[in-house]
Structure 1
């Protein structure tokens, strides 16, 4: 099942929509391949003043950081400057998919400017009515007839390519160092990695307050046996920053890679929540998917219950609904298996502990895939303040309409002490109507 996760730290859409009851295949000869893009310069004269030299440095810095992980030169494609055209990026991603087979690992890195534009079709995954676009080096002005951006890659397009690889059993790690909506902060010495929509000839509708787009660049119903991890420098509508020699996101991420992290969660935590504010997917997976994801269900068995109260509620405010009445709120018995319908929104509130604690929240879907609903370092639960996590439950892919696997699904809540040892935990079980 696909779910939109909301925590007090960030918004994210879980990008795992399995179409088959498959598990990742581990191969001794698995290959790691990468496509790294730094769209740092524009051919269009009107856009040249928005050149972003740091984006090329980002791609080069990420290539240097990944080389120690035994990625051969022939398996790494780096596109920077004027070479980072939309067609060149598409061709590189298509070659990545063509060369990868079940059990392989694919890395996609995009650094450059981003913007937003109105959706051209009724898209249940864009509740604010806006698509996110990545600007390649041949980006131009908005084409009102086709409702498209020449030289741009839309979030759905990138998502569909990732979906195809995952459907073939390829594990995918995607990183995006780009704004997905613009704005300027007065007095900052940094450059926002965004080009305002009006400069591209895009007329944005009035803001739809209360409808938050949590989809990012990879929201097109990602499916299949391959695992997914996504990192981004900014949530949709937020700003990513470039400091001349590269983005804050990429600089922190590349530095954290030198410590050879044990998992994607460890990498994100070492990079820092400010540098990587947006994450999604199976962060519990070993880094570069080198091994099976841990059995969190097995870990929680035998642990004492959480040392604070939990309160579960369900309403009709799911992210794939155009409007919510805010009604039909109910609080079922969390000790039983809870039946949910398509687009039900689930929220779990956590009470005040005696001392501050770090809480991990993981969702295990019917296919056995895990996704994190909490920040990489855990959700801080402290005296004097309630915290919460939430998700949207769906029974079919909102884009294609394809049914998703049926079966029991589990929310795993896990508390660890300062040494990282698990000291308490609880489960909440769900199933589709």
Structure 2
């Protein structure tokens, strides 16, 4: 009997050892309602409710209660959200984290901004973000640290430390940085409010904080230093753009049982009920809940600029998982339904063609998705319209609508002259595509050399000449695909530049500068640089100085292609980063200088900018980094039907002549 039991136990242990070790899901939830060193007029009501709601949501998503750490005042069993305790909790969470884990870092409370010349990366508006912990004081140190505050560089370091351990990080910041207040000569005064329906705005001017006894403040220990880590396993939701405030108010609206909540937190919890499969679906659901609340607040607080949330990261990855395998490779754009029409805030600048076939996705309240075919009936540069498919016309008003293209646009497909089908696996990233032709107009000619590789000859003068981009012999299918991808993307960039034409974007300037070290040698507007600006010589380097005084945030893309067609992102530098460029005004410009790669040998630089649409994921113009898998969408905005309007758009293409790259 003992021998049989021993064999059974041994077998059970062997089976257990063979089973996969499931990755952990953990969360740190921080809510700061009371600023104990500050007047109670600056305190908030909702952060304690926010962390309670998020904890409830995470438990429903399968998180284990012991794996959810809560730091919040007014929450039973929670630790206090002092700055030192926040860093200690982050340190403990990092110590427990292992490769393959998933971590949520959630923060609800006040934010502020201040000038910080000590940062390695300077923000375009020169201001740095700080989250206000419970023990914040107003005395800013010589290192620009705010006692009781958690700096943006500290958050960045902690996120980098988790990523270095192969941990997937989802960050949620239901706070604002009050940049709109710091740029104003006066504080916005709000009208009197009913006691049972007060709205508070998160964000404090740093000079309104009481200094207190700064000498007694403890300097918290920060994140361990790590080298730069690519943010492939990263998604972040921000409640507002850098210059905006975000509200807390009783939610759901007109619900007697509603309680004060941060708008972003409540929207995340509500959107999760529709069972989204990806971060993009979750975020689009969040954005779709904003317009009715914002419309109400606009009427009550006409002097305030209300929030437009921002997301960044690899949004097409599966929810609450540590995976780099996207669930979709096509863009999905949220749509507004009015009557029998659907309107999109994307158009030809995003890769759509007239009469383009699309699929309409209708998501019901229980998460069920119904799909039907349609095609675009109207299209402009930045918008499009189509009919609601008859089979979906009877769906309830609470349905979320979205549209995805069936195939890449024909207008920008790279036409390859070939006598046989291309090798398998030649499909490209949206909106680029390949089309094989046997005769007629073609951009390139492909010849299969068998064991000798692949021959690619350039036929289209628009893409370059043999002097700048010589014909090439490529060793294998992978090299062929890379070269075709570069050429297809170049064709798309040329079309984008042509579509934008000579359009102007009031308050936006892009200047190409030639520098020798720190010394400015010469400069010219980007649109005139190719004709008027001699290229760098010797030790000189080129940079692009961007300046925004438009009074609006911008969607900005700066991308370079070398002579062989390989893409190098200049802004955003990584596919995980947002391309939303900060708002600037004539009195307080938002400006940034970007170092450029060499623009010789047929290389080109494209600059594209357009005013940011409210409640939208930043427009990427059909462009993205090497790791990204899908273009970013725009979101619907409720309202009456309107004619398709063009937003201002700026485009500049820079190319300097130079020696041709060596053939390979």
> Larger Rg: 1 or 2?
2
2:300 corresponds to 1:277: no
- 1:49 to partner: Cα distance: 2.5
Query: 64, 83, 91: which is aligned to 2:88?
Result: 91
Structure 2: which 5+ runs fail to align? 1-19, 75-79, 182-187, 212-225, 251-259, 291-306, 332-403, 413-491, 501-508, 531-559, 571-593, 597-604, 611-617, 638-642, 652-664
Mean Cα displacement is larger for which, 65-74 or 330-339? 330-339
On the 8 A contact 1:349/1:386 being kept in 2, the answer is no
- Residue 38 of structure 1 is matched in structure 2 by 31
Query: 497, 521, 527: which is aligned to 1:311?
Result: 497
**In structure 2, C-alpha distance between the alignment counterparts of 1:317 and 1:113, rounded to whole Å:** 39
Mean Cα displacement is larger for which, 136-145 or 103-112? 136-145
- Residue 267 of structure 2 is matched in structure 1 by 252
**In structure 2, C-alpha distance between the alignment counterparts of 1:224 and 1:294, rounded to whole Å:** 20
Q: Which has the higher contact order (CA 8 A, sep 6+)?
A: 1
- Residue 53 of structure 2 is matched in structure 1 by 61
**In structure 2, C-alpha distance between the alignment counterparts of 1:71 and 1:145, rounded to whole Å:** 42
Q: Are the structure 2 counterparts of residues 32 and 387 from structure 1 closer, same or farther at C-alpha, using a change threshold of 3 Å?
A: farther
TM-score (norm 2): 0.44
Q: Are the structure 2 counterparts of residues 270 and 362 from structure 1 closer, same or farther at C-alpha, using a change threshold of 3 Å?
A: same
- Residue 229 of structure 1 is matched in structure 2 by 235
2:130 corresponds to 1:133: yes
- Residue 190 of structure 2 is matched in structure 1 by 186
**In structure 1, C-alpha distance between the alignment counterparts of 2:81 and 2:35, rounded to whole Å:** 9
- 1:124 to partner: Cα distance: 3.1
On the 8 A contact 2:239/2:308 being kept in 1, the answer is yes
**In structure 2, C-alpha distance between the alignment counterparts of 1:56 and 1:383, rounded to whole Å:** 43
2:625 corresponds to 1:365: yes
On the 8 A contact 1:281/1:371 being kept in 2, the answer is no
TM-score (norm 1): 0.65
- Residue 9 of structure 1 is matched in structure 2 by none
On the 8 A contact 1:175/1:232 being kept in 2, the answer is yes
Structure 1: which 5+ runs fail to align? 1-26, 203-219, 351-357, 391-433
Q: Are the structure 2 counterparts of residues 363 and 42 from structure 1 closer, same or farther at C-alpha, using a change threshold of 3 Å?
A: same
**In structure 2, C-alpha distance between the alignment counterparts of 1:267 and 1:301, rounded to whole Å:** 22
**In structure 2, C-alpha distance between the alignment counterparts of 1:262 and 1:97, rounded to whole Å:** 27
Deviation readout 1:15-67 (Å, 9 max, x if unpaired): xxxxxxxxxxxx861211100111111221x3333221201111111111111
On the 8 A contact 1:117/1:131 being kept in 2, the answer is yes
On the 8 A contact 2:619/2:632 being kept in 1, the answer is no
**In structure 2, C-alpha distance between the alignment counterparts of 1:375 and 1:72, rounded to whole Å:** 35
**In structure 2, C-alpha distance between the alignment counterparts of 1:317 and 1:74, rounded to whole Å:** 54
- Residue 488 of structure 2 is matched in structure 1 by none
Q: Are the structure 2 counterparts of residues 190 and 225 from structure 1 closer, same or farther at C-alpha, using a change threshold of 3 Å?
A: closer
SS at match of 1:296: coil
- 1:362 to partner: Cα distance: 6.1
**In structure 2, C-alpha distance between the alignment counterparts of 1:270 and 1:373, rounded to whole Å:** 14
On the 8 A contact 1:316/1:328 being kept in 2, the answer is yes
| Number of residue pairs matched by the alignment | 333
Query: 178, 199, 204: which is aligned to 2:208?
Result: 199
- 1:252 to partner: Cα distance: 1.1
- 1:74 to partner: Cα distance: 1.3
